[in-house]
Amino acid sequence: MSLNKKILEEINKLVWSSPKKLFTAGPVACFPEVLEAMKIQMFSHRSKEYRALHKDTIERLEKFLEVKEGKVLLFPSSGTGIMEASIRNFVQIKGNVLVTIIGAFGERYKEVVEANGRKAITLVKNPGDPVFPDDLEEALVKNPEVEAVTITYNETSTGVLNPLKELSYVAKKHGKLVFVDAVSAMGAAEIKFDEWGMDVVFSSSQKAFGLPPGLAIGVFSKEALKKAEKITNRGWYFDVLEYVKTQEEEWSTPSTPPIPQIIGLNVILRMIEEMGGKKQWLNMYNERAEMIRNGVKRLGLEIFARRGYESPTITCVKVPVNIDGYEIYERMRKRGYELAAGYGPFKKTTFRIGHMGYITKEDIEGMLNNLAIVLEEMLK
């Protein structure tokens, strides 16, 4: 046995002690084409080859996200990095931000606002419910001083998809910047950046695009970038204006980008075009979600999200009375299926099934069959 093979087997034993089908909230199973492309040997991020890769990837993202007026930028981080950048770059120190909260990741945005010396004014909905346009209208009438509104497009903890287009319209009618956490939405839910009038939209590579973690995608409006020029103490690593400058001058990033992930993203965007475009790709996600939700309902379980606002990327499922949701997660792991445990206060009363990344129809059928067996065992 060669040393390289021995090391590979040791690593596989460490992280993949038993094979599992991933139905997680992320990181997700990567598409085989992505894994193959990411094996390409590295090259300088200041080379002409990297500049060509960066430019081509940005142009493909602009098409996918329907961006003509804004700037699409790549960041060597998770999406949370851009969440913090949205506050530091575009809101005055001690300025007010209206944070809409429908779950744990709305709460995270609130923490980020406050950790960066701004004031969070919250609009909190009951778990399972989205924010409705009338809710936002009322909150903005009561709090006209806020500079921006944050919206969690897809709340990963509860499986709820907010009506982003309508909420963005309300916020812009009041003259507010719109910051969108699209971490578990971009790549599976529709985003029309220019048409919907948003100012900051961000996501991470390890969700619906089916890539490894380490790359964040941000889109920024001209209005937001203009305001950033007047904001002091924007930081250094996440100074969005520096990213704009470096991209315009060099087709690169201020610090070293995660080149393999960018190669993988480029591959996915090409695959989407080969499939027939964004519509077909989003239909794939909607079909997966419907298949999983229908399968769960056939097992006699309820969906946590309000009907009509279910996520295309993750389904949060209520567990029967006297059943521990975390135990369902553990039992499914033993059967070779990595789901996502319930999040935060719903750890024991729910479990979650992710639809993102490389998942086949046969994988979904196998997961639902095994879930039926687990439920039957636990309900005896």
Return the number of other C-beta atoms located less than 10 Å from residue 370's C-beta. Answer: 17
How much of the chain exceeds pLDDT 70, in percent? 99
> Quick one: pLDDT at residue 1?
52
Q: How far is 58 from 189, CA to CA, in rounded Å?
A: 19
**Per-position b or e across 255-279, b if 16+ CB within 10 A of its CB:** eebbbbbbbbbbbbbeebeeeeebe
> Quick one: pLDDT at residue 56?
98
Q: Is the pLDDT of residue 201 over 90?
A: yes
- pLDDT band for position 5 (50/70/90)? confident
The reply to whether 3-30+277-378 and 33-272 are identical in fold is no
- pLDDT band for position 344 (50/70/90)? confident
CB 95 within 8 A of CB 233: no
Per residue in 111-128, pLDDT (tens digit) is 999 999 999 999 999 999
> What six digits make up the tokens of 111?
């923490």
Per residue in 258-288, pLDDT (tens digit) is 999 999 999 999 999 999 999 999 999 999 9
Domain 3-30+277-378: which topology? Aspartate Aminotransferase, domain 1 (3.90.1150)
pTM of this structure: 0.97
**Can you tell me the mean pLDDT for 334-343?**
96
Per residue in 249-259, pLDDT (tens digit) is 999 999 999 99
- pLDDT band for position 2 (50/70/90)? low
Cβ neighbourhood burial of 112 (10 Å; 0-12, 13-18, 19+): buried
**Residue 148: phi, psi to the nearest 5?**
-150, 160
CB 355 within 8 A of CB 11: no
**Domain ranges across the chain:** 3-30+277-378, 33-272
AA identity, residue 197 = G
**Residue 301: phi, psi to the nearest 5?**
-100, 160
| Average pLDDT over all residues of the chain | 96
Angstrom CA distances, 338 to 15, 25, 264, 312, stand at 13, 10, 23, 18
> What six digits make up the tokens of 378?
């636990």
Where is 150: in which H helix or E strand? strand 148-152
Architecture of domain 33-272: 3-Layer(aba) Sandwich (3.40)
Where is 233: in which H helix or E strand? none
